Amino acid sequence: MLGLNFLKLFEARKAHLDTRIKRDYIRNGVAVIPCRVSGYDDVISSYSVKGLETLNPEFAEYLKSTAAVTPEESPIVLNIIGDCLSQEEKTTIEEIIRDDMAYDLGMVEEIEKRHTKRLWLMLIILIVTAALLWSSLTMADGPRELLYLLFYFAADILLDHIFLSGHDLREERRLAGRLASIKILFSDNYEDSVYTEKDVNQLYSEIEKDVNETIHGSEP
């Protein structure tokens, strides 16, 4: 092994994530997530009471983490596989998944609103301090240094919102929107999904209808 630089080889190693994602999940532009379950409690938390159900955290994490690595422009179809669910359980599962994902979207929207308010506040501070600095060239060094600190503080937060945290928040918002528009299928056994152009167009129409209903304040 003398003279063999394994570290250099490991550092040069490349992964092909896109190929794996397309192979495992993407079907004609649709992100299909298979999920095998052995019982109702795999999806709905066993701590839930009837009428106040919530998702099993492990199931929710699997759904969100898998959806997060699929292309942003891909609609999500969740295929729940297993012959252990009654029709009532399937109905409850579908309702709770959509309700919980819509709740998560609402939380992201609230964070967006707070970020937007901070963005405007920092922009106002930036403009005001810049104007004061420009118009007060004879001001004493102490107050001018304070204005400079406010100016750079506001500029730093503003740039962070635009290029860093703002970018992450927009990605989180898109993912939450995709999950809130998720389509749920149930099947007894796993079969690789095939989506034709007609299927994709139908899926687009259904999601468009759901989105329009939320925009106009209608109950789904």
Domain assignment present for 166: yes
Instruction: Give the Cα separation of 173 and 162 in Å (integer).
Output: 15
Number of domains comprising the chain: 1
Domain assignment present for 8: no
One-character DSSP codes across 88-105: HHHHHHHHHHHHHHHHHH
Instruction: Give the Cα separation of 207 and 201 in Å (integer).
Output: 10
Domain assignment present for 117: yes
Query: What is the per-residue pLDDT for 138?
Result: 60
Domain assignment present for 163: yes
Residue 68 phi/psi, 5-degree rounding, is: -65, -25
- Quick: pLDDT tens for 79-134: 999 999 999 999 999 999 999 999 999 999 999 899 888 889 989 988 988 888 88
pTM: 0.81
Domain assignment present for 183: yes
Domain assignment present for 216: no
Give how far Cα 90 sits from Cα of 48, 60, 80, 102, Å.
16, 16, 9, 18
Mean pLDDT to the nearest integer, 167-178: 92
Give how far Cα 215 sits from Cα of 24, 187, 207, Å.
33, 32, 12
Other Cβ atoms closer than 10 A to 67: 20
- Quick: pLDDT tens for 22-61: 999 999 999 999 999 999 999 999 999 999 999 999 999 9
Range of the domain at 177: 25-196
Token pair 């929107």: residue: 177
Domain assignment present for 185: yes
Q: What is the percent of the chain where pLDDT is above 90?
A: 60
Domain assignment present for 209: no
